Amino acid sequence: MSRRLFIDHTHTTQYGFQTGVQRVVRKICEHAQSSAEGYFDEVIPVMLNEGRFVSSGKSKLTSSATQRVKEKRMDASSPRNWIQSIKHWLRSNHNPNSQLTSDVQATSLCEFVSEKDTLLLPDAYWALPHVWPAVKRFRNAGGRTAIVIYDLIPHMHSSIYGQEGANGFRAYIQAAFEHADSFYAISRTVRDQLVLELPKITGVPIGDLLIDYFGLGAEFTDPEGLVQSEVRNIFCDNEYSRPLLMVGTIEARKNHNFVIDTMESLWIDAPERCLCIVGRPGWKGEQVIARMKTHPRFGKQLHWIDNASDADLLHCYKHAKGVVFSSIAEGFGLPIVESLWHRCRTFVSDIPIHREVGKNQCHYFDLNEKDSLLILLRQFEKTDHQNSLVVGPQDHPPTTWNESVAGLVRKIHLSKSSPSIVTGRHNHNMAA
């Protein structure tokens, strides 16, 4: 009997968004087939259809049908809307027969599940709670499940997301816990948080659930497309006005206000230095957006680009004076990897996940000290270019997506074949 790895991509294909979770799902689907040799005989992408997982064939997730954003559908990846999803789930009594997608043409039902089969769930299930009855059916048939966990931020930072948001997120984690044989966090930091916080969320010991992690990949090729004239005008070659760059959704946990406060002090000494924020509006970002748009330096030394393409973003990195990443909490922090790859001076908030990703290659500032970033930036303005902390891909090459997915597939395979790893709740440091 063949060993099969089923990979669900329902939410990513249904909504077509381009945010971090969806990028991971697409990369897993793209690289899993080549990574499975020696571990699984078949890799089968699946989607929910009328409450059951069905094969979606081997069509690429980057097709035009997947890419389009259906504006009439809510962005279920945002906390506000996954709260609504959970409420809808409760009202519908967890109806497993709901029609979740009409986009997939089912080529075969995943009916004949064996103990050699694994279902990998890497998508945004806080926004797709109807998935769990189908997952339960898969496990009852003898298959095993592996769930990717991106972060615990709404649980650990309820002051940002509100009590309703925190409770909704905990309901998702509880459901995932009840239907998982293994959890795979996207960083060591998130794995360690899971080990500590999961019993608090569920109210029971971790038991025999394996909790492990895999590092996300990063690949940098020159994208196709023209750079917007606005971007070229902002990122000119004038050394005195080249912008500092922030990349990320405009939301509360990204802490843009901390950087804008710092810039207002820096502008006393360096009035021409610019700050350019690249990112679309997100959770509780309204106040920051309003502050930017009404700021006297908006459009002069303070810029916001909310529709950057890959080509635009590459141009920003190549011409930035430096990159600032001030998040209160992250699951990974891909802009740090991107910044270091492009040999930018990188200033990041001093939190555990940033130390894990940035290692000794970044300048770290303390969010509890309001002038900590200002001190670094003032020094940076006075420091000769060659004395700055600059590294590049040849110094610390990032993990490729092929390596990332291969590591995940290998760990999923080992979790099935090694009893000492399956009882990983008492051995959760195995991947440290």
pLDDT for 115-164, tens place per residue? 899 999 999 999 899 999 999 999 999 999 999 999 999 999 998 888 99
- In angstroms, the CA 337 to CA 374 distance is 23
172 is written with which tokens? 């998702």
pLDDT for 281-318, tens place per residue? 988 899 999 999 999 999 999 999 999 988 999 999 99
152 is written with which tokens? 């615990």
Residue 113 and residue 405 in contact, taking contact as beta carbons nearer than 8 Å: no
Q: Supply the range of the domain harboring residue 196.
A: 4-217+401-426
Say if residue 17 is in the same domain as residue 164. yes
pLDDT of amino acid 250: 95
In this structure, what CATH number is given to the domain that contains residue 291? 3.40.50.2000
Say if residue 305 is in the same domain as residue 374. yes
Counting the structural domains of the chain, the total is 2
pLDDT for 371-398, tens place per residue? 999 999 999 988 745 444 555 555 667 8
- In angstroms, the CA 329 to CA 353 distance is 8
Say if residue 247 is in the same domain as residue 307. yes
Identify any residues that bridge with 364 across adjacent strands, giving them in sequence order.
348
Q: Is 396 among the domain residues? A: no
pLDDT for 76-112, tens place per residue? 344 444 444 444 433 433 343 334 333 444 444 456 8
pLDDT for 26-36, tens place per residue? 999 999 999 99
Q: Is 26 among the domain residues? A: yes
pLDDT of amino acid 386: 44
- In angstroms, the CA 374 to CA 380 distance is 10
Q: Is 392 among the domain residues? A: no
Say if residue 43 is in the same domain as residue 185. yes
Say if residue 257 is in the same domain as residue 296. yes
Q: How far is CA 73 from the centre of its chain?
A: 21
Dmax over Cα atoms in the chain, in whole Å?
Answer: 71
pLDDT of amino acid 395: 63
Q: Is 431 among the domain residues? A: no
Amino acid at 61: L
Listed in sequence order, the residues at least 6 apart from 68 whose beta carbon sits closer than 8 Å to its beta carbon are 16
Say if residue 32 is in the same domain as residue 100. yes
Q: Is 223 among the domain residues? A: no
Say if residue 330 is in the same domain as residue 383. yes
Say if residue 76 is in the same domain as residue 190. yes
Mean predicted confidence (pLDDT) in 176-191: 96
Say if residue 13 is in the same domain as residue 141. yes
- In angstroms, the CA 382 to CA 282 distance is 35
Amino acid at 33: Q
